[in-house]
Amino acid sequence: MKVLITGIAGFGGSHLAELALREGAQVVGTVLPNASTDNLAGFRDAVETLPCDVTEPGAAARVLRGVRPDRLFHLAGASVVGTSWEHRVNVLRTNLEGTFQVLEGLRAHPVPCLLVSSGEVYGAVPERAQPIREEQLLSPLSPYALSKACQEMYARYYANAEGIPLVVVRAFNHVGPRQGPGFVWSDIARQVAAIEKELSPPVLEIGTVTTRRDFTDVRDMVRAYWLALERAKPGETYNVASGTAVAIQEILDGFLALAACPIEVRPSPARVRPVDLSLLSGDAGRLTRLTGWQPRIPLRQSLADVLVDWRGRR
């Protein structure tokens, strides 16, 4: 079986590539021209990478025509919520045009495809209605969430009107090694590692710590992607989440407990989002009933692995 992963060198893409290799697949992935492939360092020789900007007209179709995959996982795109207000034009252009080009490519070369959306599409949902189920109306409150909701509309059209075998997953917050800056876990771990190396003063800056999020290790997350595309019917949508919300303060405390030296914490208004949901937690019951999927990696292991990862970066 041949698998094509757009955005293979990204956070989720690299972990999905590793999983696909373990499943015995031949793995091919797209990488932005001149972009780093450091996330593939441990298995770069085992995968084929193709330079491709999927937002370019016809680029995705050319890759699909040349690779002729059995499955496609579309992960390429802008993924940072916190900076999406400042970079809204690029976020919307990248995520919408990239998805449109991929779907047009599939129209000419149809194969089963998984499109990764986000739990952010639900917006502010009352606590009594959380963990959130797939039936909840979408109400995006950031440019990033808007782009993901629009991607879903694209996918629904191409599945229903064009007959493309598409499955959508709404991934809630996922964490783990290789995640880039701009996410709360990686931002905390990066600062801790720099302080330990005496590259920064022993002061950690952070934004809001009272918000609660549903965190799943990326290695569990990509396993859900694999199972969803393997077993779901085209046109269906699934949440991928742990069902448990954890306050950012608890995550911060976990990293501080692992730090090799005392660290002062200082609130930073610059790190506070223009709109920050107080609670976001998902119900993955639909996916569990279909596939048996459940998270396996505890948060304490994810915390340790993320800090080890940042300690090893230059």
- Over residues 102-143, the pLDDT tens digits come to 999 999 999 999 999 999 999 999 999 999 999 999 999 999
At which residue do the structure tokens 């911060």 appear?
252
Burial classification of residue 69, based on how many CB atoms lie within 10 Å of its CB (0-12 exposed, 13-18 middle, 19 or more buried)? buried
Domain range list for the chain = 2-175+215-243+284-291, 184-212+245-279+298-311
Q: In this predicted structure, what is the pLDDT of residue 269?
A: 84
Asked whether the beta carbons of 144 and 85 are under 8 A apart, the reply is: no
Q: In this predicted structure, what is the pLDDT of residue 85?
A: 83
Q: In this predicted structure, what is the pLDDT of residue 196?
A: 97
- Return the exposure string of 39-63: e unless at least 16 CB atoms fall within 10 Å of the residue's CB, then b: bbeeeeeebebbebbbbeeebbbeb
* Architecture in CATH of 184-212+245-279+298-311: Alpha-Beta Complex (3.90)
- 130 CA to centre of own chain: 21
Asked whether the beta carbons of 174 and 91 are under 8 A apart, the reply is: no
**pTM of model > 0.85:** yes
Q: In this predicted structure, what is the pLDDT of residue 138?
A: 98
Q: What is the pLDDT of residues 69-94, one digit of tens each?
A: 999 999 999 888 888 889 999 999 99
Q: Identify the band that residue 272 occupies on the pLDDT scale cut at 50, 70 and 90.
A: confident
The rounded mean pLDDT for the chain is: 96
Rg (CA), the chain: 19
Q: In this predicted structure, what is the pLDDT of residue 242?
A: 98
Q: CATH number of 2-175+215-243+284-291: 3.40.1260.10, 3.40.50.720, 3.40.190.80, 1.10.40.50?
A: 3.40.50.720
